[in-house]
Amino acid sequence: MENVLRGKNIIIGISGGIAAYKTPLLVRLLKKCGAHVRVVLTESATRFVSELALATVSEERVYRSLFPPADTTGVDYTRHISLGEWADAFVIAPATANTLARLSTGLCDDMLTALFLTLRPGKPVVVFPAMDGQMFLSPSVQRNIAILSAQGCMVINPDIGELASGLSGVGRMPEPESIVSSLEKAMNATADSSLLYGKSVVVTAGPTREKIDGVRFISNYSSGKMGFAIARAAAERGALVTLITGPVQLETPPGVKRLDVETAMEMYDVAENFFKSCNIFIGAAAVSDYRPAAPFEGKMKKEKPEIEITLIKNPDILAEFGKQKAQGQLAVGFALETHAGLDNARKKLNAKNLDLIAFNFFDRKTSGFEVDTNILTLIDKEGTTTELPQLTKDDAAEKLLDFIEKLCLKT
Ligand code: CTP
């Protein structure tokens, strides 16, 4: 693929979070791609990363203050404007809660925030929030992210993992390699190519496994192919895709952030992190409805002639999102049925407060689990019913996304 970063002018805005220590490596990677890089630091970022290191790797001076130093005379009072003109793209990594708040309200009390306002229209702004998990999930941070996304910024969800506090959760800044590939994606896509461009899309896929004992589980035949096809197609349209998948034998589609889980409870816990900040939630996973109430530690021995396993209900991930979704968020589900299909699908659409449901005909030859094709009937909440022919799962995913784009127009 052609290197889209070659010769491009990239500004990296760094705010004051621990992840700032990784930014010299980010600058290095961008320079290796042939980009010209200039760095803008907030005051608190200087506590986490050295200006000298950034100036050395970028081979440029680093910008911090809106005003030139007191001992210089000259006319350099409008650097925020000339930098805005110079930039082909603006990456803000890490973006702290404070910086997100200042960006979303239009404050411009330092170089980073002032520059944000002077960028030329249509230039990609890619924002990487990174902070403690609870801070990230707080309503204020989520609101500010929603404002920035609505303005056309690509806000990339943080990774899940160990945090500086020693806790584990959502909030880690993606690694520099991943930041570079998000930026490449942003530069490749154009804002008018798809209504999904820059939208945050969460897809669940695959089966879940519910433990009976240390070596056995309850599961289903889902291969994850449909969910992966949707994730791939959405990423190709410029969406920021988070794919939460149960155990499957599939390659991660390019540009998709994949999170592997095993049980329905794990899938729920991971998905919950993204409920508030995503634009579109697509439940394509075949989530086990029940799990053994008390999985046996170790391996059960076949001592008794019969055993009983009590199953308890798992949370319904999609229904939970449907219940919590805010104005403008879309919830899309699948309905796998073996009889009374359309009626049941309509009931699920209403019960889970969905915007669209794809009724999935199940025969294990042409449609449903494991096979490479699907026969979908799409039903939206106004009752419009669209029957699709037998299609490959890739083509069915494209049709589904075409339909979702139409819904985006209405929201
Ligand atoms: N779903 C979910 N969490 C669950 C169960 C289902 O998110 N615990 C989602 C699926 O991903 C799918 C939709 O809900 O998008 C419908 O799933 P399906 O298995 O067809 O129906 P159920 O709601 O589980 O109902 P039933 O098993 O009674 O048909």
Token readout for 53 is 């290191």
Domains 9-69+77-191 and 200-410 share a fold: yes
Distances (CA, A) of 109 to 28, 103, 202, 282: 28, 10, 34, 39
* CA dist., res. 146 & res. 158, Å (int): 15
Q: Is the CB of 83 under 6 A from ligand 1?
A: no
Ligand 1, atom nearest to 315 Cα: 8
Percentage of the chain beyond pLDDT 90 is 75
In one-letter notation, the amino acid at residue 300 is M
As a whole number, mean pLDDT of residues 33-38 equals: 97
Which pLDDT value is given to residue 77?
Answer: 65
Which pLDDT value is given to residue 377?
Answer: 94
Q: Whose CA is nearest to atom 17 of ligand 1?
A: 335
* Candidate list 9, 98, 188, 220, residue with the active-site label: 220
Which pLDDT value is given to residue 164?
Answer: 86
Per CATH, is 200-410 categorized as 1.10.287.110? no
- pLDDT exceeds cutoff 90 at 299: yes
Token readout for 196 is 């999904």
Interval between CA 315 and ligand 1 midpoint (Å):
10
For 93-117, what is each residue's pLDDT tens digit?
999 999 999 999 999 999 999 999 9
As a whole number, mean pLDDT of residues 15-40 equals: 97
Interval between CA 158 and ligand 1 midpoint (Å):
27
Mutate to test the pocket of ligand 1, among 316, 347, 356, 374 (most ligand atoms within 8 A of CB): 316
pTM as predicted: 0.77
B/e letters for 141-158, b = 16+ CB within 10 Å, e = fewer, are bbbbbbbbbeeebbbbbb
B/e letters for 293-320, b = 16+ CB within 10 Å, e = fewer, are eebbeeebeeeeeeeeeeeeebbbbbbb
For 322-380, what is each residue's pLDDT tens digit?
999 999 999 999 998 877 788 999 999 999 999 999 998 777 677 777 788 999 999 99
Outline where DSSP puts E strands in 156-199. Answer: 159-162, 168-172
Which pLDDT value is given to residue 78?
Answer: 76
> Where are the chain's structural domains?
9-69+77-191, 200-410
- pLDDT exceeds cutoff 60 at 300: yes
Catalytic, 220? Answer yes
For 250-296, what is each residue's pLDDT tens digit?
999 888 889 999 999 999 999 999 998 899 999 999 999 999 999 99
What is the pLDDT of the chain when averaged over all its residues? 92
Asked which of 21-30, 54-63, 220-229, 368-377 is least confident by mean pLDDT, the reply is: 368-377
Q: How confident is the model at residue 146 (pLDDT cuts 50, 70, 90)?
A: confident
Name the residue among 122, 59, 58, 125 with its Cα closest to residue 89: 125
Interval between CA 358 and ligand 1 midpoint (Å):
12
Which pLDDT value is given to residue 352?
Answer: 98
Interval between CA 169 and ligand 1 midpoint (Å):
26
Q: Write out the H or E segment, with its range, that includes residue 411.
A: none
User: How wide is the angle at C-alpha 147 spanned by C-alphas 21 and 406, nearest 5°?
Assistant: 120
* Contacts with 204 (C-beta within 8 Å, 6 or more apart), sequence order: 227, 244, 245, 267, 271, 282, 283, 284, 285, 287, 317, 318
* CA dist., res. 411 & res. 395, Å (int): 25
As a whole number, mean pLDDT of residues 22-30 equals: 98
Q: Is the CB of 330 under 6 A from ligand 1?
A: no
Which pLDDT value is given to residue 75?
Answer: 55
CATH code of the domain made up of 9-69+77-191: 3.40.50.1950
Q: Is the CB of 356 under 6 A from ligand 1?
A: no
For 44-80, what is each residue's pLDDT tens digit?
999 999 999 999 999 999 999 888 666 565 556 678 8
- pLDDT exceeds cutoff 60 at 1: no
Q: Whose CA is nearest to atom 3 of ligand 1?
A: 316
Which pLDDT value is given to residue 216?
Answer: 96
